């Protein structure tokens, strides 16, 4: 009897005890995630804002720095310069990318797969690589200039715009492909039944259908350009933009106050673009109803061949840019000694292969750490609706609107504080990993929440009613189901961490040099061929990783995703994934 | 049936172990020294082989930027100093560090061999010079011929309208070479005339570069016809196969000295002193002498292509003046010429 009573008593208290433990663990995890976002997003940004209100000695001066900034004509010019190149690059990129995406999605022209792959190349290169290539092609002694004797004057706004168009092209293309794919064939059937001309159909059906995609592409390109400093640095000549201004103020003159002031100003267009983009995206979801019919492109030889010629031209130009980088990295001394050599690959001025290995290491850690934090964070926010969910969600979206340089500067203010515990991180690889993780936090976070939202809440309910602790359900059910998104997220982190420059350029220290920063330093010192060689290796690493992930993804999808066909689409949505 | 969870566990655990091992890796027994330098990267590569051999127990962490940038960083970190040693940063800037109280006086071993010009007058000295570098023009003869540009012989020539858009020079904010050229012009011509000259020079300038060697490398690549830079890069570019001619302006080149110093932080680090001792050893001087005409210790052969007696080609530099007026000159320069 006694044994039986004890038997009955134990499970009850064990379950209750475990539930209490579980609840405590949940709140602990939510607390940790909140602390993480506070420490690495909110607090550093507050520091930048605050710093822009102080003078160089730390005294409060109100808006004096802003007054000084806007009243120095030379410095204030960088604002109009930035807006000018960003708007022009945006219009050109979106126009070119729209035609390209249209040809890929709405025609049956040959080589569509090849064109798509080639157009993705710029994703694998740091933004200054395009600038370096254009100097080699259109510079005063460039290939084109030597051949034709026509100097287009590439240094300045013209060169920046060209480099940015190439840099942003794949980003715009991916958004537009997605927009052009999400359409309803019945609208086109209706248009042709009503006798609308091709042009009229384009104007009244196609364009309105991709309106939001176009706007989204515009905002993405605009933000990319205005926050980029690689291309203006390399090819800008005397033309100064806000991002290079921050770099010069901070790295050149260590004028952190002015750097913070320009940062806050730079934050405004990026924030506006972000908010508008969010509003637009919210409306876009309702566009295609569940009964929509996918559009089957029809044969149209004339349009197909003219678009084929167009795509060929674009793809060839993109390929040419990277071919030039490869070739100059392999010749002795362009254009005077054209013998083949591997000596530019010795990198003896930047410590050999250490920066590249550091980059791979940091990218791998970013991929592993970032994926874990993003996915667990998204799980906390999405699956346990608490009062903390909304603020945590908002904080997770914030990073996408923070330009990299601003983030880097914010981290200097936060972590280079003598005597503080945070100072331990300063100058370590860890701070580089964290800055990458935050810089690229939002897109993976949205991917993770979307994929978790698609999962039925029944899994958790059944689990908890059977007395299975949530972490077991998470590990055995949630994670395996979401595996394709998890893989896509980690690839996104890896590839971006490999090429990013803007945040980490302020944070590298002796012993933690990175490959993309090495490209910048070598180009700064005039060692352009070595800079090209390092770029080649960065691109090659990215491509290899991308293909490895492609293989992994196929394997995983076959094993865990037999029940859904949409899994691989998530990769494509993440921008870096469309190399198939 | 295989459970995906188990494989995942292994994977994650494996990754965690790898990360842990990698993070724990750098905990080693070597003495660490943090060095800030503005020496040309190619030269550092050469010097590195030597000091690694001579000081096998030293773990050197080196940060290299152009003179102005590394100085600004060092000054900005004064309350949270990172560097133990300043190695090969312009004497002008080192003097500024000294005046700001950031350096610790130290007489490296073998100091008695160093020529008087090459050291701080105080005893023990706060800084010790290792070599002299001077402004030089790099002229790309191929480009000059194509554009019908005569070879300039003097600073005065550079303001001729024919050179408009064909010149590059370093930004004196970031580049030591840029600052020594500007400072030398102002010392030689006096401030009123000097600024007038710089105004005229600005009219011809295509771009101000961040680093002091880049103007010459741009000229060497044929991107620009003439780069105002310093003598070592000119010789180096010529050696590497570019059609470069080096011109030392006839009014006299500006010059500065690459100097070493012990920082307040490094004062507590014996490894910092060991490095500074090596940095003026005969071995080190012989290496500097491969690139520079004048080094701290007399008696080393002068590199091919450089003048035997540089006192004949340089305009004397008042280092105190250069150091004291640096902030003011740079502010004025910024006001006049920054885009």
In tens, the pLDDT along B287-323 reads 999 999 999 999 999 998 999 999 899 999 999 999 9
- The minimal CB distance from A526 to the residues B44, B73, B217 is found for B217
Q: What is the pLDDT of residue B65?
A: 87
CA distance A532 to A324: 9
In the predicted model, is pLDDT for residue B23 greater than 70? no
CA B83 to chain A, closest CA, distance in angstroms equals 10
CA A107 to chain B, closest CA, distance in angstroms equals 41
Q: Let me know if A233 is exposed, middle or buried by CB neighbors in 10 A (0-12, 13-18, 19+).
A: buried
In a domain, A308, yes or no: no
Residue A362 near residue A432 (C-beta atoms within 8 A): yes
B258 CB contacts (<8 Å, ≥6 apart)?
A: B38, B39, B88, B89, B90, B91, B129, B130, B131, B132, B133
CA distance A222 to A161: 11
Q: Give alpha helix (H) positions in A107-156.
A: 112-119, 127-138, 143-148
Report chain B residues whose CB lies below 8 A from the CB of A362.
none
Q: What is the pLDDT of residue A578?
A: 29
pLDDT tens digits, B49-58: 999 999 999 9
**Which CATH number does the domain housing residue A432 bear?**
1.10.3720.10
In a domain, A355, yes or no: yes
CA distance A262 to A65: 9
Q: What is the pLDDT of residue B4?
A: 43
CA angle A519, A520, A521 (to 5 degrees): 95
In a domain, A295, yes or no: no
Q: Let me know if A444 is exposed, middle or buried by CB neighbors in 10 A (0-12, 13-18, 19+).
A: buried
CA distance A565 to A153: 50
pLDDT tens digits, B79-130: 888 899 999 999 999 999 999 999 999 999 999 999 999 999 999 999 999 9
pLDDT tens digits, A153-179: 899 999 999 999 999 999 999 989 988
Count of the separate structural domains present in chain A:
1
Note whether A479 contacts B63, CB cutoff 8 Å.
Answer: no
Report the residue of A526, A530, A561 to disrupt the B interface, i.e. the one with the largest count of B CBs within 10 Å: A526
Q: What is the pLDDT of residue B218?
A: 93
Q: What is the pLDDT of residue A562?
A: 59
pLDDT tens digits, B3-21: 444 544 544 544 544 444 4
CA distance A519 to A536: 10
Note whether A524 contacts B61, CB cutoff 8 Å.
Answer: no
Note whether A238 contacts B77, CB cutoff 8 Å.
Answer: no
In the predicted model, is pLDDT for residue A579 greater than 50? no
In a domain, A377, yes or no: yes
Assigned token pair, A140 = 């005063």
Report chain A residues whose CB lies below 8 A from the CB of B72.
252-254
CA distance A3 to B2: 38
Structural domains in chain B plus CATH codes: 31-132+255-307 (3.40.190.10), 134-254+326-337 (3.40.190.10)
By three-state DSSP, how is residue B301 classified? coil
pLDDT tens digits, A531-549: 999 999 999 999 999 999 9
By three-state DSSP, how is residue A194 classified? coil
In a domain, A440, yes or no: yes
In a domain, A285, yes or no: no
Assigned token pair, A531 = 């800079």
Q: Residue B7: closest CA among chain A residues belongs to which residue?
A: A480
pLDDT tens digits, A128-159: 999 999 999 999 999 999 899 899 989 999 99
Note whether A526 contacts B338, CB cutoff 8 Å.
Answer: no
In a domain, A560, yes or no: yes
Q: What is the count of residue pairs from A and B with beta carbons less than 8 Å apart? A: 124
Q: How many helices (H) and strands (E) does chain A have?
A: 28, 2
pLDDT tens digits, B217-267: 999 999 999 999 999 999 999 998 899 999 999 999 999 999 999 999 999
In the predicted model, is pLDDT for residue A573 greater than 70? no
Report the residue of A510, A530, A557, A559 to disrupt the B interface, i.e. the one with the largest count of B CBs within 10 Å: A510
Q: What is the pLDDT of residue A563?
A: 54
Note whether B15 contacts A368, CB cutoff 8 Å.
Answer: yes
Closest CA to A122 of A314, A308, A311: A314
In a domain, A363, yes or no: yes
Q: What is the pLDDT of residue A283?
A: 66
A321 CB contacts (<8 Å, ≥6 apart)?
A: A130, A133, A134, A137, A166
- Tell me the residue range of the domain where A366 lies: 351-580
Closest CA to B206 of B249, B237, B163: B163
Q: At A167, phi and psi to the nearest 5?
A: -60, -40
In the predicted model, is pLDDT for residue A570 greater than 80? no
pLDDT band at B131 (very low <50, low <70, confident <90, very high): very high
Q: Give alpha helix (H) positions in A454-527.
A: 458-465, 470-473, 479-481, 483-499, 515-524
The continuous run of DSSP H or E covering B51 comes out as: helix B41-54
A338 CB contacts (<8 Å, ≥6 apart)?
A: A331, A332
Q: What is the pLDDT of residue A249?
A: 81
According to DSSP, the β-strands at B255-263 and B85-90 are antiparallel
Mean pLDDT throughout B52-68? 91
Q: What percent of chain B has pLDDT over 90?
A: 78
Q: What is the pLDDT of residue A19?
A: 63
According to DSSP, the β-strands at A331-333 and B31-37 are unpaired
- pTM for this entry: 0.85
């Amino acid at each position: 009897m006694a044994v039986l009573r004890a038997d009955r008593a134990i499970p009850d208290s064990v379950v209750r005890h475990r539930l209490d433990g579980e609840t405590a663990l949940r709140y602990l995890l939510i607390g940790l995630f909140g602390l993480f976002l506070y420490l690495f997003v909110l607090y550093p940004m507050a520091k930048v804002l605050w710093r822009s209100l102080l003078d160089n000695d730390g005294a409060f001066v109100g808006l004096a720095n802003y007054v000084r900034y806007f009243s120095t004509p030379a410095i204030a010019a960088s604002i109009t310069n930035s807006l000018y190149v960003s708007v022009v690059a945006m219009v050109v990129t979106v126009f070119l990318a729209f035609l390209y995406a249209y040809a890929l999605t709405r025609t049956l022209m040959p080589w569509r797969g090849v064109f798509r792959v080639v157009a993705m190349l710029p994703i694998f290169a740091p933004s200054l690589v395009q600038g370096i290539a254009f100097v080699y092609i259109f510079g005063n002694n460039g290939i084109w200039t030597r051949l034709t004797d026509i100097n287009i004057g590439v240094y300045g706004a013209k060169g920046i715009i060209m480099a940015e168009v190439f840099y942003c092209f794949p980003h715009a293309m991916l958004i537009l492909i997605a927009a052009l794919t999400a359409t309803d064939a019945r609208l086109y059937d209706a248009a042709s039944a009503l006798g609308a001309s091709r042009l009229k159909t384009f104007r009244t059906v196609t364009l309105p259908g991709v309106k939001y995609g176009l706007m989204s592409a515009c905002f993405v390109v605009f933000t990319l350009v205005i926050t980029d400093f690689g291309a203006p640095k390399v090819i800008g000549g005397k033309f100064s933009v806000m991002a290079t201004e921050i770099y010069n103020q901070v790295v050149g003159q260590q004028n952190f106050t002015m750097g913070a002031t320009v940062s806050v100003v730079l934050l405004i267009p990026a924030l506006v673009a972000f908010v508008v983009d969010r509003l637009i995206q919210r409306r876009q979801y309702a566009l295609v109803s569940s009964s929509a019919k996918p559009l089957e492109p029809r044969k149209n030889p004339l349009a197909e061949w003219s678009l084929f010629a167009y795509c060929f031209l674009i793809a060839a130009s993109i390929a040419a840019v990277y071919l030039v980088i490869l070739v100059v990295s392999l010749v002795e001394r362009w254009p005077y000694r054209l013998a083949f050599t591997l000596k530019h690959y010795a990198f003896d001025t930047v410590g050999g292969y250490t920066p590249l290995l550091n980059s791979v290491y940091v990218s791998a850690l970013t991929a592993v750490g970032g994926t874990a934090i993003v996915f667990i964070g998204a799980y906390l926010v999405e699956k346990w609706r608490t009062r903390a969910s909304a603020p945590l969600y908002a904080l997770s979206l914030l990073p996408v609107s923070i330009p990299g340089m601003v983030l880097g500067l914010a981290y200097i203010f936060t972590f280079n504080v003598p005597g503080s515990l945070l100072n331990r991180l300063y100058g370590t690889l860890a701070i580089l990993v964290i800055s990458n993780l935050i810089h690229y936090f939002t897109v993976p976070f949205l991917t993770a929440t979307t994929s978790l939202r698609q999962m039925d809440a029944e899994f958790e309910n059944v689990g908890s009613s059977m007395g299975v602790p949530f972490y077991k359900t998470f590990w055995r059910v949630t994670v395996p189901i979401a595996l394709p998104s998890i893989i896509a997220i980690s690839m996104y982190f890896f590839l971006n961490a490999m090429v990013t420059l803007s945040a980490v350029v302020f944070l590298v220290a002796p012993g933690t040099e990175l490959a993309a920063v090495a490209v910048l330093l070598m180009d700064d010192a005039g060692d352009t061929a070595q800079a090209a060689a390092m770029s080649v290796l960065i691109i090659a690493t990215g491509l290899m990783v991308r293909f490895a992930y492609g293989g992994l993804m196929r394997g995983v999808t076959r094993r865990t995703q037999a029940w859904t066909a949409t899994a691989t689409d998530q990769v494509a949505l993440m921008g870096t994934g469309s190399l198939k | 049936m295989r459970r995906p969870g188990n494989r995942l566990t292994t994977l994650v655990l494996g990754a965690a172990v790898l990360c842990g091992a990698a993070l724990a890796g750098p905990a080693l027994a070597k003495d660490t020294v943090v060095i800030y330098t503005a020496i040309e990267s190619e030269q550092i590569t050469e010097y590195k082989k030597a000091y690694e051999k001579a000081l096998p127990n030293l773990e050197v962490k080196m940060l290299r930027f152009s003179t102005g940038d590394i100085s600004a960083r060092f000054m900005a970190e004064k309350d949270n100093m990172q560097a133990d040693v300043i190695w090969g940063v312009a004497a002008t800037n080192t003097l500024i560090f000294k005046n700001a109280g950031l350096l610790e006086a130290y007489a490296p071993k073998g100091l008695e061999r160093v020529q008087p010009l090459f050291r701080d007058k105080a005893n023990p000295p706060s800084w010790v010079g290792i070599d002299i570098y001077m402004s030089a023009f790099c002229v790309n003869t191929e480009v000059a011929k194509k554009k019908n540009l005569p070879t300039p012989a003097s600073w005065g020539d550079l303001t001729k309208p024919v050179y408009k858009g064909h010149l590059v020079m370093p930004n004196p904010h970031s580049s030591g070479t840029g600052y020594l050229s500007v400072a030398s012009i102002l010392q030689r011509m006096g401030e009123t005339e000097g600024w007038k000259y710089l105004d005229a020079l600005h009219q011809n300038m295509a771009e101000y570069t961040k680093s002091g060697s880049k103007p010459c490398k741009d000229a060497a690549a044929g991107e620009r016809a003439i780069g105002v830079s310093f003598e070592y890069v000119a010789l180096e570019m010529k050696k590497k196969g570019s059609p470069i001619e080096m011109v030392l302006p006839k009014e006299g080149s500006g010059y500065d000295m690459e100097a070493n110093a012990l920082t307040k932080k490094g004062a507590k680090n014996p490894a910092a002193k060991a490095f500074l001792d090596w940095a003026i050893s005969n071995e080190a001087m012989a290496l500097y002498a491969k690139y520079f005409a004048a080094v701290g210790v007399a008696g080393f052969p002068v590199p091919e292509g450089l003048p035997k007696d540089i006192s004949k080609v340089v305009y004397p530099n008042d280092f105190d003046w250069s150091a004291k007026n640096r902030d003011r000159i740079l502010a004025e320069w910024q006001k006049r010429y920054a885009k």
